[in-house]
Structure 1
Amino acid sequence: MLDTVRYWGGAPIRLRMRRQVASFVKATQNSRGAQNAVLKRLIALNADSDFGREHGFSEIRNVADFRARLPISDYEYFRPYIERLKNGESSALLGPQNRLLMFALTSGTTSGAKYIPITSQFMDDYRLGWRIWGVCAYDDHRALYKRRIVQLSSDYDQFRTPGGTPCGNISGLACEMLNPLIQTMYTVPKPVMKIKDPRSKYYAMLRAAITDSKVGIVTTANPSTLLHLAKLADECREDLIRDIADGTLSTKVTVDDEIRRGLQRKTRANPQRARELEAIVNRTGHLYPKDFWPDLELLSVWTGGSMGPYLAGLPQFYGQNNIRDHGLSASEGRMTIPLSSNTSSGVLDATSHFFEFIPEEEMGSADPTVLAAHELIEDRNYFILLTTASGLYRYDIHDVVRCTGFLGTTPTLEFLNKGAHISSITGEKISESQIVAAVRESVDPLGLELGHFTVVPSWGEPPQYRFLVEETNLPSADVGAKIVASTDQYLKTLNPEYDEKRNTGRLGPMTMQLLPKGTWEKFCLKRQSRLGGSLEQYKHPCLVPQLEFYQEFMAEFVNGCRTETDGIPRPYSSAANRVDAK
């Protein structure tokens, strides 16, 4: 009954959303005009700020003026203004009509977390992008209109700045701002977002969501989270079924009393549902989403970049469902909106932010070519620059994208990877500078000269990072174990997203891979012969983000490895091979 009321009551909302989709699609036919209008709006929005006055916003008339007055920048360029924002000085970066709502926390490339301002206009743009995404997805999969949503979000108000501004996750604020009618479609109650212990949070999500059999869509950013959630459901199936039958929330779940009370509405006894779940376990031997949500039709996650291995594992737990990419988005802004399922490509969100592009091969050069959206070439790769309502201008987010085509004159893009000095398997976005800082903090107290080292991502269950160093650079295996454990721990303090992925088990602990003496010399010679330049100019990479690098490197330069009982992988030696062969 509620589904029918919600469907017909939501008709005016859907009509308004479809008009917004039509307006967006119309704008894609003239990307240049749409982008010029966006730039004009964004410059005017924050012109009456200290940043705007210092950079002569009142004199900017066109794209050329804009580029002449503002450099290509990263977070450090804006940090002094953002620090003032954190202390309550909104005029440092924002105009009087652009109210600061919160700071989104994301990984910094130098010193800890970045605080990304989320303003009223930015949030309007953010929500519009999701409405366009949502109505297209639901019109493509119309059964979803009468089914429920499982969304995994995090708290937007985890703590406050000195100026009193909430800090946390933008998805939590978006949930708070949902239309009340649309909120009834969501199965996970808001108090769950405030649970701090990761395992308890996921258990509470499952406790609420599994009670509802009519789930049609599950949405979260990273597909690794979906795998983790499905495995937890099966692991905790006895506790979940007991809680659902009795109307309880297990005492194993670590939550504040206030949050526990707030979850009471979703923890009422449902013995009939418990019997249905018991029957599933008796029949299949497991408690997987594909069985307890038989009407599941759509998974909404990232699909680009390094997500492929995770996506391949979803059918085992969720069945053969359609997958709708979220689009390329970050705390700093939404970049693309996929308009169809089962593709990682999306059309540039050309009506919300102003975008510029640098050909991948020119990034880092003294005078790179900078292109507007309509100037891209299909099948070419680019770094993307953002200008948004939150006071970030020509912001290098370090994302590499490929132009896959055009909708009208607006490019469609797919995410390939983070830039050369950032690695992200599950969304942790580790920078080379963070690796160097963590290693230095771990090695300096030992008075040790470590020499060349490289940290690389390595696929596994779960994936992890490996610390590659020649064995002759370490006095003992015990010292190596201490260094890698300390590096792992210090990296967690530098990078909150790495800390979160490690704590939830989506990333395993860093391990050390000992290499034979001379390995880095061989690698250096091979690298320089391919790239050109003298050995004196060689810059050893302390972080290599490509997921395939580890296996290729070991095959070419080490010829296999074995793992000792102390957990430190070591290279094969001929003697070790002979012993193992016996």
Structure 2
Amino acid sequence: MANLPFQILTTLGHRAKNELIEQTKHPLATQEKYLKTLLQHHQKTELGRHYHLEEIKTIDQFRSRIPILPYSAYDPYTQRIAQGEKNVLTPDPVIYINITSGSTGKQKKIPVTQRFQNSLGKANLASMGFLDTALRQRGKKLEKLLVTNPALIRGYTEGGLKYGPAGPGVLHTRKWLYEWLFAHPFTTLQVADSFTRTYLCLLFSLRNEELGGLIANFPMLILRICHYLEKYAESFIQDLERGTLPKDLDLDSKMRSRLNRRFSASPKRARELREILNTEGRLTPPLAWKNLAYITTARGGTSDFYLQHFSDYDLDHLPVFGGAFASAEGTFSVYTDVNNDASALAVNTGFFEFIPESEWDQENPQTLLATEVKPGERYRILVSNYSGFYRYDIGDVVEIGDFFEQSPTLIFRHRRGGILSSTSEKTTEAHVIAVLRSLQEEWGMTIHDFFVTLSEKEFPPHYLLNIELPPESKLEESSHFLRRFDELLKETNPHYALKREGEVPPPRLRILAPGSFDIVRERLIDRGVPDSQMKLPHISEDRQLFKGLTVQQEITLET
């Protein structure tokens, strides 16, 4: 009986995986069928009547008659849906409003229907099927999971609809399943305070020595789990010995009572963990859980820098699975294997179009279909799906990796606008992450975190490389470090190399005080960004976000 949830999950997952594989063999037919079904279902909505969806019979007609629109065009409609109006964007009842993180722009409201959620659920199940296959090839299998994402509904709209991040909306629809799958009570995810929630998830999970996987939206959150496990190891062990929850956790009396009923002493497990702590001098996930088999977290984009830090906690031998490339607006692709940045287009969750880089500045850009894109090229991705958005520009830039069967694989690179230019050289996050990876290897050191921005008072402005070092660390040969940053960025971004010949002034290096990036994260949380959805940028022109940080040392580069 204990394995029943995993049997259900893997059976459904393999069924969804096999269905997706078949559909990726015929992507154009699958996409055309999806689009026709979508248009027929939505033709009598307000927006459907406005665009005369009943008259559109082909993909070409759809692309010629429906404009490419950003979120701002849909905002008036989603506001009305939030107030309770029906049949605006979708004929189905709206059961939830997904709120985007807002970490890279204004928060958006995405209407969720059961049909929309079910269509995306197919992709999530398929990803589980692919993960199970990868684990079995390595002699492993799905076991209990540790998750720290909050399962909190943020509130209710004027029309009485629940709203919040996409994650809680999904979690609550299948609470019975997650209660079995998680190594900690579902109730722990309903704790508002981030530190308390993470601590409790770890504490309950430490009781289970058979934990199999760690899951978090972003690698930075996996690193936080590791940091807490190491920093509070003694406290965790004492809690397991006593069988009581710490008194200083931020819990109201009702929540504390509910969790206390689920927690009890585990002296045998406490002895095991204390022996590990005494022998190794620290607790890391692989030391605490010998059966730990994988990590599921985002890959590509800002994630790449944090994945490098997994070795700090002996996680580098564990396979890292991307799950699905998704946002509040939809699911775009599914990872088919571990340790891979490319994921197969989810041809059954939406109708997708791609804007080639040569068309990005055009008012009415020409788009390509899934069968027309080329490996190595970058595109903006458009989606039409059961949220009621058509040809919606989500603002993400993807690179085509290769093809899975006959469908393209996507590698997330950066958000549209996630570009830094002193003049017109267009440096991306991928550029600076690659440079910092090389610098860390050359110096044999770890940088805690970094961001690149532009100086305020000069024109053209200087690049400012801001780094925070680990506690008690020192950067040797800082001037040479900055020079190598400049040289490597020239190699990585040819446009930067060209502009540095005469237009772009030399970069500067600023070493920030310890704790600087904690301050930045707190600022984002104060803006309303949930910590589980936080994507800390590595390039930014938002001076307010990084304003006022203590600079311990500033190094300039002579021309």
Scaled by the length of structure 1, the TM-score of the pair is 0.74
SS of the residue aligned with 1:252?
A: coil
The 8 Å contact of residues 421 and 543 in structure 1, kept in 2 or not, is answered as no
What is aligned with 2:551? 567
What is aligned with 1:479? none
CA deviation string 1:160-189 (max 9, x = no partner): 111111122222232233384664121132
The 8 Å contact of residues 155 and 168 in structure 1, kept in 2 or not, is answered as no
Where structure 1 has 5 or more consecutive residues not aligned to the other structure, the ranges are 427-447, 463-483, 512-540, 545-549, 551-563, 575-582
SS of the residue aligned with 2:67?
A: coil
CA deviation string 1:74-94 (max 9, x = no partner): 110000000001111132211
What is the distance in 2 between the residues matched to 1:566 and 1:490?
A: 15
Post-superposition shift, 1:112? 3.8
2:268 alignment partner, one of 269, 272, 279: 272
Post-superposition shift, 1:8? 6.1
Post-superposition shift, 1:64? 2.0
The 1:150–1:318 alpha-carbon spacing in structure 2 relative to 1, beyond 3 Å, is: farther
The 8 Å contact of residues 52 and 93 in structure 1, kept in 2 or not, is answered as yes
What is aligned with 2:19? 23
What is the one-letter code of the residue matched to 1:277? L
1:122 aligns with 2:106: no
What is the distance in 2 between the residues matched to 1:165 and 1:157?
A: 10
Moved more, 316-325 or 384-393: 316-325
The 8 Å contact of residues 373 and 410 in structure 1, kept in 2 or not, is answered as yes
1:67 aligns with 2:44: no
CA deviation string 1:35-80 (max 9, x = no partner): 0111112222322221111121121211222223321111100000
What is the distance in 2 between the residues matched to 1:292 and 1:120?
A: 39
What is the one-letter code of the residue matched to 2:143? R
What is the distance in 1 between the residues matched to 2:2 and 2:521?
A: 48
1:399 aligns with 2:396: yes
5 Å matches for 1:524-563?
A: 542=541
5 Å matches for 1:464-479?
A: none
What is aligned with 2:156? 160
The 8 Å contact of residues 300 and 413 in structure 2, kept in 1 or not, is answered as yes
What is aligned with 1:259? 255
1:135 aligns with 2:167: no
The 1:454–1:86 alpha-carbon spacing in structure 2 relative to 1, beyond 3 Å, is: farther
What is aligned with 2:531? 500
CA deviation string 1:201-234 (max 9, x = no partner): 1111111112211111111110110111111111
1:302 alignment partner, one of 293, 298, 312: 298
5 Å matches for 1:483-498?
A: 492=524, 495-497=527-529
What is the distance in 2 between the residues matched to 1:347 and 1:331?
A: 19
What is the distance in 2 between the residues matched to 1:217 and 1:192?
A: 17
SS of the residue aligned with 1:267?
A: coil
What is the distance in 1 between the residues matched to 2:268 and 2:282?
A: 18
The 1:61–1:457 alpha-carbon spacing in structure 2 relative to 1, beyond 3 Å, is: farther
Report runs of 4+ in structure 1 exceeding 6 Å deviation.
422-426, 448-457, 487-491
What is the distance in 1 between the residues matched to 2:107 and 2:28?
A: 35
SS of the residue aligned with 1:77?
A: helix
What is the distance in 2 between the residues matched to 1:125 and 1:328?
A: 15
1:360 aligns with 2:354: no
The 1:461–1:208 alpha-carbon spacing in structure 2 relative to 1, beyond 3 Å, is: farther
Post-superposition shift, 1:195? 1.7
What is aligned with 2:385? 388
What is the one-letter code of the residue matched to 1:125? S
The 8 Å contact of residues 145 and 212 in structure 2, kept in 1 or not, is answered as yes
CA deviation string 1:376-434 (max 9, x = no partner): 112211110111211111111111111111123211111111123479989xxxxxxxx
What is aligned with 2:348? 351
1:373 alignment partner, one of 351, 370, 373: 370
What is the distance in 2 between the residues matched to 1:335 and 1:247?
A: 44
What is the distance in 1 between the residues matched to 2:526 and 2:285?
A: 35
Where structure 2 has 5 or more consecutive residues not aligned to the other structure, the ranges are 421-427, 431-455, 471-515
The 8 Å contact of residues 45 and 87 in structure 2, kept in 1 or not, is answered as yes
Post-superposition shift, 1:12? 5.9
The 8 Å contact of residues 307 and 425 in structure 1, kept in 2 or not, is answered as no
Post-superposition shift, 1:109? 8.8
What is the distance in 2 between the residues matched to 1:267 and 1:298?
A: 26
What is aligned with 1:556? none
5 Å matches for 1:326-345?
A: 326-345=323-342
What is the one-letter code of the residue matched to 2:125? R
The 8 Å contact of residues 10 and 132 in structure 2, kept in 1 or not, is answered as no
What is aligned with 2:440? none
What is the one-letter code of the residue matched to 2:18? A
The 1:110–1:296 alpha-carbon spacing in structure 2 relative to 1, beyond 3 Å, is: closer
What is the one-letter code of the residue matched to 1:103? I
The 1:163–1:454 alpha-carbon spacing in structure 2 relative to 1, beyond 3 Å, is: farther
The 8 Å contact of residues 135 and 142 in structure 2, kept in 1 or not, is answered as no
What is aligned with 1:443? none
The 1:493–1:214 alpha-carbon spacing in structure 2 relative to 1, beyond 3 Å, is: closer
CA deviation string 1:234-285 (max 9, x = no partner): 1112221111222222122102222222323542111111111111110111
The 8 Å contact of residues 501 and 507 in structure 1, kept in 2 or not, is answered as no
The 1:356–1:208 alpha-carbon spacing in structure 2 relative to 1, beyond 3 Å, is: same
Moved more, 272-281 or 313-322: 313-322
What is the one-letter code of the residue matched to 1:193? L
2:45 alignment partner, one of 31, 39, 49: 49
The 8 Å contact of residues 345 and 407 in structure 2, kept in 1 or not, is answered as yes
Which structure would you say has the larger Rg? 1
Which structure has the highest helix share of the two?
Answer: 1
1:93 aligns with 2:86: no
The 8 Å contact of residues 454 and 542 in structure 1, kept in 2 or not, is answered as no
CA deviation string 1:322-349 (max 9, x = no partner): 1111232111111110111110111100
What is aligned with 2:480? none
The 8 Å contact of residues 148 and 197 in structure 2, kept in 1 or not, is answered as no
SS of the residue aligned with 1:91?
A: coil
Post-superposition shift, 1:6? 3.6
What is the distance in 2 between the residues matched to 1:457 and 1:154?
A: 33
What is the one-letter code of the residue matched to 2:39? I
The 8 Å contact of residues 113 and 496 in structure 1, kept in 2 or not, is answered as no
Post-superposition shift, 1:496? 2.9
1:233 alignment partner, one of 217, 220, 229: 229
1:197 alignment partner, one of 190, 193, 197: 193
What is the one-letter code of the residue matched to 2:528? P
Scaled by the length of structure 2, the TM-score of the pair is 0.77
What is the one-letter code of the residue matched to 1:126? L
What is the distance in 2 between the residues matched to 1:571 and 1:240?
A: 42
What is the one-letter code of the residue matched to 1:133? S
Moved more, 62-71 or 407-416: 62-71
SS of the residue aligned with 1:232?
A: helix
What is aligned with 2:211? 215
Post-superposition shift, 1:572? 4.7
What is the one-letter code of the residue matched to 1:496? G
Identity rate of aligned residues, in percent? 23
What is the distance in 2 between the residues matched to 1:78 and 1:153?
A: 28
